[in-house]
Amino acid sequence: MTHAESVLVLDFGSQYTQLIARRVRELGVFSELHPFNTPLERIRALKPSAIILSGGPSSVYEADAPKPDPAIFDLGVPVLGICYGLQLIADQMGGKVDPSARREYGQATLEIDRHDDLFKGVERRTNVWMSHGDALSKLPSGFEPIAHSSNSPICAIRDVRRKIYGVQFHPEVVHTPEGRTILGNFLTQVAGLKATWTPASFVDLAVQEIRARVGSSHVLCALSGGVDSSVLAVLLHKAIGDQLVCIHINNGLMRKNESEAVVRTFRDRFAIDLRYVDSSDTFLARLAGVSDPEQKRKIIGKTFIDVFDAEAKQLKRDVRFLAQGTLYPDVIESVSFKGPSVTIKTHHNVGGLPKDMKFELIEPFRELFKDEVRAIGRLLGIPDVLIGRHPFPGPGLAVRILGEVTKERADLLREADDLFIQELHAAGLYDSIWQAFAVLLPIRSVGVMGDGRTYEAVCALRAVTSVDGMTADWARIPPEVLAKASGRITNELRGINRVVYDISSKPPATIEWE
């Protein structure tokens, strides 16, 4: 999608890189991440209004240190280097970086020497978050120091003429209280951007681009009923009206009563052309005997496309496009996309699609985070009962059933999950939790019921708090609520005799178990 103003964030492997992109968007400018080694031609084609170089774990003087094409500094585009990014600027423009006599990790006091542009409106002494073991020992030609700390004589630099700036600390984290002001100053005072990007502006632009791309063709939308696909369906309907055909596929791996609710809501409230397809038997048959999570995801992705292909042929319309509610975190987890990263898991609507797919993909939310999609949904008039739903994975319960997926195990997990969610609603906790669900483990344990021995399945409950799903912490649900959920699951369901609660954060764990 083309944006009037955009910031390109080049990723060098920092754990905070996602935050940079988020903070820039919060300040009203669209931003997106690209790998540190993105070719110069590609950068030119993106036409960024400014470039930010992220932090990273490497040292610039190492032989294999990640480095961009140095010609980015000759594009005439304002540049901000953060931590490792600052050191890259020094290294590639004639300065020098050496190991610091004393490393700085955590809170530090920054003393500002120049209060115009980058530090306009910032206190002369302000707290910042440091995370570095190297320091500048020589400034590049044309640069001046504009801030220091007790451990770093050169903590921020600038070349006003070329609009190239660098800071040794991390303005994107909440531990730098005035970081938002500093980033905002770079965007407006240094780069001269107007900062007009909002969810409303995204909707207007997306509608224009969808209409231009689709023309007179028809679009199939994969409508699962989750937040992303629901917002996508309404956005597409706003853009192309009757050229949209939504298909809801019941793959036998949905939440309890979900398919019925999806069909009722979108046919009645939004008057959208929605076709319901029950392919439960097909999905479950193809998953029979499969335990590997990546294989599950690829099987589900291919089966979805097979079903869509068959449905499209029956429509007897010119259907060229398949629309999906793919989000930015899906892309990042599925592809070795950013900096020195690895594939964590394949999302069926990203890396799990077959290469010979006959449709062209439309993914308007591919650059957005979940909370941004929710804001767009509210603008489009989607009720909060849909917008506020917890995320649900594309492969559904298949990645919450560890081991082989069968109809019996799916039915059992569906009921356990529903009981857990009921108790969160009853306790008034559902809306304060990012995501909550039950997981069926591939083990059984000994229990006792009615003076008799049982040997049944173990169910794990998972609930996390988060902002965008990129990082998450386990939810501190009161013990009495967990006890109620556990008691109902083991008493009301035959097949589960033990319930455990997952207290892992992300990282090191992912939110889903597979």
- 484: tokens are 């109620």
- Whether a cis peptide bond, with omega within 30° of 0, leads into 508 is yes
Amino acid 387: pLDDT: 87
Which has the minimum average pLDDT: 34-43, 347-356, 358-367, 426-435? 347-356
Relative to beta strand 144-148, strand 96-112 is antiparallel
Residue 469 DSSP label: S
Amino acid 355: pLDDT: 60
Amino acid 207: pLDDT: 95
Helix (H) or strand (E) holding 34: strand 30-35
What Rg, from alpha-carbon coordinates, does the chain have?
25
Tell me if 311 sits within 8 A of 298, measured CB to CB: no
How far the first Cα of the chain sits from its last, in Å, is: 31
What is the mean predicted confidence (pLDDT) over 39-53?
Answer: 96
Q: Give dist(CA 325, CA 224) in Å, integer.
A: 9
Which has the minimum average pLDDT: 32-46, 192-206, 349-363, 463-477? 349-363
332: confidence class by pLDDT, cuts 50, 70, 90: low
Q: Where are the beta strands (DSSP E) in 253-352?
A: 274-278, 319-323
Tell me if 111 sits within 8 A of 148, measured CB to CB: yes
The pair phi, psi for residue 106, each rounded to 5°, is 105, -155
Q: Which of 14-28, 137-151, 154-168 has the highest mean pLDDT?
A: 154-168
Q: Give dist(CA 220, CA 229) in Å, integer.
A: 12
Look up tokens 């190492």; give the residue: 62
Higher pLDDT, 328 or 459: 459
- 49: tokens are 């209004």
104: confidence class by pLDDT, cuts 50, 70, 90: low
345: confidence class by pLDDT, cuts 50, 70, 90: very low
460: confidence class by pLDDT, cuts 50, 70, 90: very high
What is the mean predicted confidence (pLDDT) over 467-493?
Answer: 93
User: Which pLDDT tens digit goes with each residue over 252-265?
Assistant: 999 999 898 888 88
The three-class DSSP label of residue 167 is strand
Amino acid 58: pLDDT: 87
285: confidence class by pLDDT, cuts 50, 70, 90: very high
Q: In the 3-class helix/strand/coil scheme, how is 339-405 assigned residue by residue?
A: CCCCCCCCCCCCCCCCCCCCCEEECCCCCCCHHHHHHHHHHCCCCHHHHCCCCCCCCHHHHCECCCC
What is the mean predicted confidence (pLDDT) over 297-325?
Answer: 86
Q: Which residues contact 196 (CB under 8 A, 6 or more apart)?
A: 4, 5, 28
Q: Give dist(CA 78, CA 180) in Å, integer.
A: 18
pLDDT at 334 > cutoff 60 = no
Task: Give buried/exposed letters for 111-144 (b at 16+ CB in 10 A, else e).
Answer: ebeeeebbbeebeeebebbbbbebbbeebbeebe
What is the mean predicted confidence (pLDDT) over 305-312?
Answer: 84
- 154: tokens are 């050169």
Q: Which of 53-57, 342-346, 479-483 has the highest mean pLDDT?
A: 479-483
Q: Where are the beta strands (DSSP E) in 139-243?
A: 144-148, 156-159, 164-167, 218-222
Phi-psi region of 495 (alpha: psi -120 to 50; beta: other; left: phi over 0): left
Q: Give dist(CA 322, CA 314) in Å, integer.
A: 15
What is the mean predicted confidence (pLDDT) over 478-501?
Answer: 96
Relative to beta strand 435-449, strand 360-362 is unpaired
Catalytic positions are 83, 170, 172
Q: Which residues contact 371 (CB under 8 A, 6 or more apart)?
A: 467, 468
Q: Which of 232-241, 301-310, 321-330 has the highest mean pLDDT?
A: 232-241
> For the chain, what is the mean pLDDT?
88
Tell which residue, 170, 138, 142, 141, has the closest CA to residue 154.
138
Higher pLDDT, 108 or 164: 164
Tell which residue, 118, 234, 248, has the closest CA to residue 184.
118
